[in-house]
A and B are shown apart, each in its own frame.
Chain A
Amino acid sequence: MTHVLTHVTRRSFLTGAGLVLGLLVAPRMRAFAAVDGAVAGGGSNLAQLNAFVKIAPDDTVTILSKHIEFGQGPFTGLATIVAEELDADWAQMRAVHSPADDKIYANLQFGIQGTGSSSSIANSYLQFRTAGATARAMLVSAAASAWGVPTDEVFVEKGRILHMGSGREAGFGQFAAMAALITPPADVKLKDPEKFVLIGQQLPKLDTVSKTDGTAIFTIDVIPDDLLVALVARPSHFGAKIKRFDDTEARKIEGVVDVKAVPQGVAVYASNTFAALKGRNAVDVEWDLSEAEIRSSDEIAAYYRTIVTQPGLQAAESGDLQRNKSGDDLLKLERELLFPFLAHAPMEPLDAVFVPSSDGILDIYTGAQFPDMDRKTAAKVIGIDPERVRLNTQIAGGSFGRKAQFGSPYMQEAAAVFAATDRTRPVKHMWTREDDIRGGWYRPLYLHRVSGSISKAGRIIDWNHSIVGQSVMGKAGLDETSVEGAAELPYEIPNLKVTAHNTKLAVPPLWWRSVGHSHTGFTVETFVDELLEMVGADPVQGRLALLKEDQRYAAVLARAAEIASWGKPPAAGRERGVALVKSFGTYVAQIAEVSRGPSGGPVVHKVWCAVDCGVAINPNVITAQMEGGIGYGLGAILFNAVTLGEGGAVVQSNFNDYRSLRINEMPDIEVAIIKSAAPPKGVGEPSVPPIGPAVANAWRRLTGARVTNLPINGLVTS
């Protein structure tokens, strides 16, 4: 065996890990790989000071990110946090994915390793500060000992270790190996945030250069020698099973090596991707639809309408909705809203590469959002000891929630495809865009009904909101993710009732960027806006008057209004809409300016966005996430629906009919970040929920047309 897998134990985190000198990954005894994936944990020849910090002889500091980097910036954010407490220079910082380990690399909010809920920075903030401060103390200790001076005379500044009295100076690399042997101090003092020099700066991102010159390696780019590429012919309907298949024609195609049935469909193995694509097209499969979903989206919505007024699971109740509220003073409103299934459609379709080696270790390369769950799942499906599976998380071409699945159903498919081979050759399993759009794990279809009343003075008196749809968490009882953003409102409403109804479909559900807020934010913010309009209240002033105690809501709304010069009328033919949503602990207010475009639908010209995410680790990343989330959310509410047609098959198939926002449809965006000392929260999702209602509210004020059936440009129907 030529390599040593060094798992740092939980006990050793920040205490005994100094005994481990590097995570040794010696060259593998296997065929030359044409394009290698990144091995989890980073390279050899690095001194490991704790579970999260490695230092090389050339002074570079590599942080081990327990969170996957698929665009939201954890490599940069987590490296910034470590660098701050380590007193490193930004130029020496690097980041890699950590090994898969549910204990050492757990998301402290989840209890297992995982990326999601915009929690990467929030859960890691103290942990990574501590990791940086501990590593710093170990370097100081090592230098002091070598120099024969007291530790309190040794300082660290911009990546240099200094002794004031003697003028001696060294880089981190010189003492890294020595520092790694020191028992880490049990308690280190963290910096006073007032003295931060890196946190809060517009630091350049660590992954930009390799993503600009084409050298960044994603899972799809891992091309070992002797690779088999496998595609699976998948069913036309959710819940369908193989009845029979004929692979005669597929096997005739040059490059096709084998065809095998797996639980998820029929796998075609080929020596190159195009042969696998042709081979898959040539497989003739007959599907058994006896347990399949054969209802259309329209039929599912009609079924939901029969449930929405029934008693359901109570998500919130206060005051008394039944009390007779009389008087001319009250204006009433009732609305029904329908939200379609949505695919995440990350740019890189799902993929995984399995590389067996003669030493009995199976390397898996994949963009894992729950890496250790994927590792254990793969081992189980393949029937080998999980300790012999090394999962190497790769940077991924987006996810938006798609790769975070309990029980790792994607990995179950990929591992089954590998397991069905003789397990001697590397196998790449990949989905095509059609597999992605038609493959399920959608943001569920939801039906909302909401009724309420407002006084002429602009006080909302009652609010009754009912939500019907699948539980993403698969719960029998209340699923908080179905009602988040609806059950706890920013507005003071004395009589409130929020109800949820869980439904069961064969269409697999999943969280989609901003989860429940992707639909609750739309309903709440369009309904509030319409109530305010009924009594002639200003959308900003009316909301400010309704807000509860929490001043952070008011601050982001006021800031968005300020940068938008709210109160100054927009250009002729344009209107502005407002929305305010807190999600994942982060407060976002947006104002969208909209006109009617040549095709009759809305054109969004500009969005002003104010965000309070607590301590702003890297304003550059925060701004980028606000911009990107606005574009992602805008594309969905303007264009996107996955529709089950008559008979239950998915209508859409690719980017031609599941439209993505394009550059000519992207608004100008201005972002303001509220200065805050509150603990940092996430930014990957919170800019998604407000954009839909902000645009819909502007559209209603412009045209009088209410948006209650999404997408707004509902051009694609069953």
Chain B
Amino acid sequence: MVKFMLNREPKNFDGDGETPLLWVIRDFEKLTGTKFGCGIAQCGACTVHLDGVPIRSCVTPIGALEGASVTTIEGVSGEEATAVKAAWVAIDVPQCGYCQSGQIMSAIALLQSTRTPDDKDIDAAMSGNICRCATYHRIRQAIHNAATSMEG
């Protein structure tokens, strides 16, 4: 039995401890905003926050998460989350949209650690998130816009 917090709610998981967090979130908790893209931590579609740090849930076994606090796109909140989501909507970042939960979770974590990121900070924080539609141009712009909006 693993006890952990998911979006500020206590949860128990008593299945296979090897089960990646991704499938616990999706199959058992029915939170579907977090996506499966590769299963080997190459694409970032499964990005969630573990105790505030962005991780790839597809390679994180639930058995290692006793007492941990997990936040998904459905539960993420705060100034940075509000700013990032508003910036995403304002310039229509998504195309197919499948990777965007992961992109947004990475972007929020970036702004939480670096309030005014430059392009190199963005490259470093976001290069683990693949977008096959290549919306990168707008992702970069939206992150800059979100940072600017938090200044005011």
Number of interface residues of B (CB under 8 A): 55
Select which of B27, B32, B88, B93 is within 8 A of A274 by beta carbon. B27
User: Least Cβ distance of A512 to chain B in Å?
Assistant: 12
Task: Indicate if the CB atoms of B39 and A433 lie closer than 8 Å.
Answer: yes
Does A212 contact B85, Cβ atoms closer than 8 Å? yes
> Across the interface, do B104 and A212 meet the contact criterion of CB distance under 8 Å?
yes
Which DSSP category, helix, strand, loop or mixed, fits chain B's interface? loop
A398 touches B98 (CB 8 A): yes
Residue of A nearest to B33 (CB): A214
A662 touches B130 (CB 8 A): yes
Taking a contact as CB atoms under 8 Å apart, the answer to whether A275 and B127 are in contact is no
- Alpha-carbon gap, A265 to B27, bound state (A): 25
Asked if A272 and B43 sit within 8 Å, CB to CB, the answer is no
The answer to the question of A110 belonging to the interface, with a C-beta cut-off of 8 Å to chain B, is no
* A214 CB contact (under 8 Å) in B23, B42, B43, B72: B72
- A654 x B40 contact (CB < 8 A): yes
Which residues from chain A contact B135 at a C-beta distance below 8 Å? 624, 627-628, 631
Whether, in the assembled complex, A216 has its beta carbon less than 8 Å from a beta carbon of chain B, the answer is yes
B68 to chain A, nearest CB (A): 18
Q: In the complex, which residues of chain B have a beta carbon less than 8 angstroms from the beta carbon of A277?
A: 39
Interface core residue of B101, B127, B131 (most chain A CB under 10 Å)? B131
B98 near A660 with CB under 8 A, answer no
CB of A608 to closest CB in B, whole Å: 13
Does B73 lie at the interface of the complex (its beta carbon under 8 Å from any beta carbon of A)?
A: yes
From 11 to 51 in chain B, residues with beta carbon under 8 angstroms from any chain A beta carbon are 15-16, 18-20, 23, 26-28, 30, 32-40, 42-43, 45
Alpha-carbon distance between A274 and B136 when the two chains are bound, in angstroms = 31
Q: A272-B28, A345-B132, A347-B130 are in contact. Are A631 and B33 (CB under 8 A)?
A: no
Residue of B nearest to A397 (CB): B98
Q: Is B111 among interface residues, defined by CB-CB distance under 8 A? A: no
Partner of B88 from the list A208, A229, A630, A666 (CB cut-off 8 Å) is A208
Contact of A662 among B30, B38, B85, B127 (CB under 8 A): B127
Q: Which listed residue, B16, B93, B94, B133, touches A275 by the CB 8 Å rule? A: B16
- Indicate whether B52 reaches chain A with its CB closer than 8 angstroms: no
Q: Is the CB of A209 within 8 A of B89?
A: yes
- Bound complex: CA A630 to CA B138 (Å): 13
Chain B residues with CB under 8 A of A207: 94, 97
Q: Does A211 contact B (CB under 8 A)?
A: yes
The reply on B92 being an interface residue by CB < 8 A is yes
B139 within 8 A of A: yes
Closest to B106 in A: A663
Query: Which single member of B19, B27, B38, B85 contacts A433 (CB below 8 Å)?
Result: B38
A71-B23 in contact (CB<8A): no
Tell me if A347 and B98 are in contact (CB < 8 A).
Answer: yes
A562, CB-defined interface residue at 8 Å: no
Per the bound structure, the CA–CA distance linking A631 and B139 in Å amounts to 13
Cα-based distance from A658 to B67 in the complex (angstroms):
37
Size band of the interface chain A makes with B: 35 or more
With A and B bound together, what is the CA distance between A217 and B45 in angstroms?
15
- What residues on A are CB-neighbors of B27 within 8 Å? 223, 229, 272-274
User: Are B136 and A663 interface neighbours, CB within 8 A?
Assistant: yes
By the criterion CB–CB under 8 Å, are B35 and A347 in contact? yes
Q: Taking each of B28, B88, B89, B92, which has the highest tally of chain A beta carbons within 10 Å of its own beta carbon?
A: B92
Decide yes or no: A70 and B16 within 8 Å by CB, A212-B104, A347-B130, A628-B134 being known contacts.
no
Q: How far, in angstroms, from A632 to B136 measured CA to CA in the complex?
A: 11
Which residue of A has the minimal Cβ distance to B135?
A628
Interface residues of B in 47-82 (CB under 8 A from A): 72-74
The answer on a CB contact under 8 Å between A628 and B89 is no
Interface: A396 (CB within 8 A): yes
B126 within 8 A of A: yes
Taking a contact as CB atoms under 8 Å apart, the answer to whether B16 and A398 are in contact is: no
| A484 and B128 alpha carbons, distance in the complex (Å) | 36
Mark contacts of A74-99 with chain B using CB atoms, 8 A cut-off: 1 yes-contact digit, 0 otherwise: 00000000000000000000000000
- With CB as the reference atom, state the residue of chain A lying closest to B28: A272
Interface residues of A in 214-243 (CB under 8 A from B): 214-218, 220-221, 223, 229
Closest 3 CB pairs of A and B: A631-B134, A214-B33, A397-B98
| CB<8 Å pairs between A and B, sample of 17 | A208-B92, A209-B89, A211-B94, A211-B100, A214-B32, A217-B32, A223-B26, A223-B32, A273-B23, A347-B96, A347-B98, A348-B37, A433-B40, A631-B131, A635-B134, A661-B136, A663-B129
Q: Which residues of A contact B (CB under 8 A)?
A: 34-35, 70-73, 204-205, 207-218, 220-221, 223, 229, 254-255, 272-275, 277-278, 345-349, 395-398, 400, 432-433, 620, 624, 627-632, 634-635, 654-656, 660-664, 666, 668-669
